[in-house]
């Protein structure tokens, strides 16, 4: 069973502008003017923002009257393990602020931890730990652009337990500090962020652990 992901319209819009394949299968971009739906990674010309709506499943997209893009073929599964990996990716995105152990994720998809970790890396090119770290940094980057939270608050909101872990992970993926990233431009939209206490950092024993 896939975990429900909670991404705002702005976050999904950012993923399609970046052609981010890590979110393929987790949601679909539907274009009102062409009546076509695509994967987030589709390289076709980007539609106008006001002409876009998002769906979390193929059936929802097609029930709304959209047909699949011939270029990115969102209806085609390119691997027999697609559903298993999709469930795992969905689980990680839905639980990025929590503390999932490798065994938890493997159990969610019905595989042994050892086999699941090998399969996930084979299919995505990334370990669950790296995938989770990128999800967290993605969330932090979005909040740096779209909120007035402090860098420290953003690090906690994105699932990092310490500022040092947040700064290291962010610089590793963006080659700049969170402050430098934020200074590059004016936030495009404001979001109301839920207030929660910091989440304990993932234990080293978890393959999904991001430090």
Q: Which residues pair with 167 in a beta bridge?
A: none
Place of tokens 């739906």: 37
- Of the residues 42, 84, 146, 176, which is catalytic? 42
How many other CB atoms sit within 10 Å of the CB of residue 68?
A: 18
How many other CB atoms sit within 10 Å of the CB of residue 188?
A: 11
* Element housing 28 (H / E): strand 28-31
- Decide: 57 and 79 in contact? Cβ < 8 Å: no
* Element housing 21 (H / E): none
Catalytic, 72? Answer yes
Give the residue from 21, 49, 51 showing the smallest Cα distance to 35: 51
Catalytic, 42? Answer yes
Report how far apart the first and last C-alpha atoms of the chain are (Å, whole number): 28
3-class secondary-structure state, position 83: helix
- Of the residues 19, 38, 84, 176, which is catalytic? 38
- Of the residues 69, 84, 146, 176, which is catalytic? 69
Return d(Cα 106, Cα 148) in angstroms, integer.
37
What residues act catalytically?
38, 42, 69, 72
């Amino acid at each position: 069973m896939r975990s429900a992901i909670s991404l705002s319209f702005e976050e999904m819009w950012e993923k399609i502008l970046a052609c981010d394949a890590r979110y393929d299968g987790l949601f679909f971009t539907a274009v009102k003017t062409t009546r076509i739906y695509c994967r987030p990674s589709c390289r076709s010309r980007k539609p106008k923002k006001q002409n876009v709506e998002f769906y979390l499943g193929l059936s929802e997209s097609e029930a709304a009257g959209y047909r699949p893009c011939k270029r990115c073929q969102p209806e085609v599964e390119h691997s027999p393990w697609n559903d298993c990996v999709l469930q795992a990716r969905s689980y990680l995105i839905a639980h990025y602020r929590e503390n999932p152990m490798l065994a938890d994720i493997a159990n969610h998809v019905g595989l042994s931890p050892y086999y699941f970790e090998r399969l996930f890396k084979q299919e995505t090119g990334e370990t669950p730990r790296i995938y989770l770290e990128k999800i967290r940094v993605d969330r932090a980057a979005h909040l740096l652009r779209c909120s007035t939270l402090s860098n420290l608050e953003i690090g906690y909101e994105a699932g990092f337990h310490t500022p040092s872990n947040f700064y290291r992970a962010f610089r590793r993926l963006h080659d700049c500090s969170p402050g430098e990233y934020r200074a590059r431009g004016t936030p495009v939209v404001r979001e109301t962020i839920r207030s929660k206490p910091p989440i304990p950092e993932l234990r080293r024993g978890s393959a999904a652990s991001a430090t």
